[in-house]
Structure 1
Amino acid sequence: MSLQERFIKNLKRYREELGCSQEQLGNRLGSDRTAISRYERTSSRMTIERADALARALDVDVRVLLETPEDHPIAHRPPGSPISSKLVGQNVRDRRTAQHISQKELGDRVGMDRNHVSRIEASTSSAAALQLATLEKLAVAFGIKPTDLL
């Protein structure tokens, strides 16, 4: 199961445990039921910022929804500090340089162009929003959990 699939399953499961409808969650986000339905069907590419916003709307730390196996109960842990693509980019750069890996080498490990790694590390705008799938690939390349990059 991919990181995005685990997050989505846990998001839906936790929302339902709270007795929160898709419409109520949408309202908390300033969105609508159809957007929540679309997220829960995993038909859209989830960014880390959107995942964090969805988790915060349910008053739970996004890391819990990213890490909890689907056959385990979801622990309630209040949201921690906000996560961002910029912060992840800084963490990627710090880990890469600490391991003496070039952007090209990391790109080769992840299956992306060196320029994409450079954009992730220099992330300064929402246009560079990092998707959960990319976060997962980066974590695998470093041999760590995805949440270690948050």
Structure 2
Amino acid sequence: MSLQERFVQNLRRYRLSLGCSQEELGNRLGSDRTVISRLERTSSRMTLERADALARALDIDVRVLFDTPIGNEIIRVQPGKPVSSETVGEKVQQLRKAEGITQKDLGDRTGLDRNRISQIEASSGKVAALQLSTLEKLAAAFGIKPTELF
């Protein structure tokens, strides 16, 4: 099961446990029920920032929804510091340098282009939002959980 699938299933389970409708969650985010429905069906590519916003709208830390195995009880933890693609980029750069590998080496490990690794690590504030699938590839390349990149 992918990181996005686990997140979406946990989001839906947690939303339902709160008695929160898709419409209500959409309203909290300034969108509508159809957006939430599409996200819960995993038919769209979820970004890290979108996942964090969804979790915050339900007053739970996004890390819980990423890390809780399907079928396990979701234990509510207050949202922590917001997660961002920029923060992940900084951590990726630190880990890459600590291992003494190049951006090309990391690209080869993840199946991403070296230029994409450079974009992820960019500190100029022009970091593109990371999709959860990319976050998952980066974590796997370092042998860590995706939430360890925050």
Scaled to the shorter chain, the TM-score interval is: over 0.9
For 1:135, give the aligned amino acid: L
Structure 1: any 5+ residue segments left out of the alignment? Answer: none
Matches within 5 A, 1:36-47: 36-47=36-47
| In 2, Cα distance between equivalents of 1:32 and 1:6 | 22
2:12 is aligned to 12
Runs of 4+ in 1 over 4 A off after TM superposition: none
| In 1, Cα distance between equivalents of 2:126 and 2:81 | 19
Give the TM-score of the pair, scaled to structure 2: 0.98
Structure 2: any 5+ residue segments left out of the alignment? Answer: none
SS of the aligned residue for 1:6 comes to helix
Q: 1:79-125 deviations in whole A, cap 9, x for unaligned?
A: 00001100000000000001101000000000011000000000523
Matches within 5 A, 1:40-55: 40-55=40-55
Is 1:71 the counterpart of 2:71? The answer is yes
1:113 is aligned to 113
Is 1:129 the counterpart of 2:129? The answer is yes
Is 1:87 the counterpart of 2:93? The answer is no
| In 2, Cα distance between equivalents of 1:125 and 1:61 | 25
SS of the aligned residue for 2:9 comes to helix
| In 2, Cα distance between equivalents of 1:107 and 1:76 | 35
For 2:76, give the aligned amino acid: H
For 1:70, give the aligned amino acid: I
Matches within 5 A, 1:18-37: 18-37=18-37
For 2:144, give the aligned amino acid: I
SS of the aligned residue for 2:79 comes to coil
| In 2, Cα distance between equivalents of 1:105 and 1:40 | 34
Report the CA distance between 1:71 and its aligned residue: 1.3
| In 2, Cα distance between equivalents of 1:113 and 1:9 | 30
Matches within 5 A, 1:55-66: 55-66=55-66
- In the comparison of the two structures, how many residue pairs are matched? 149
Percent sequence identity over aligned pairs? 69
| In 1, Cα distance between equivalents of 2:136 and 2:112 | 13
SS of the aligned residue for 1:78 comes to coil
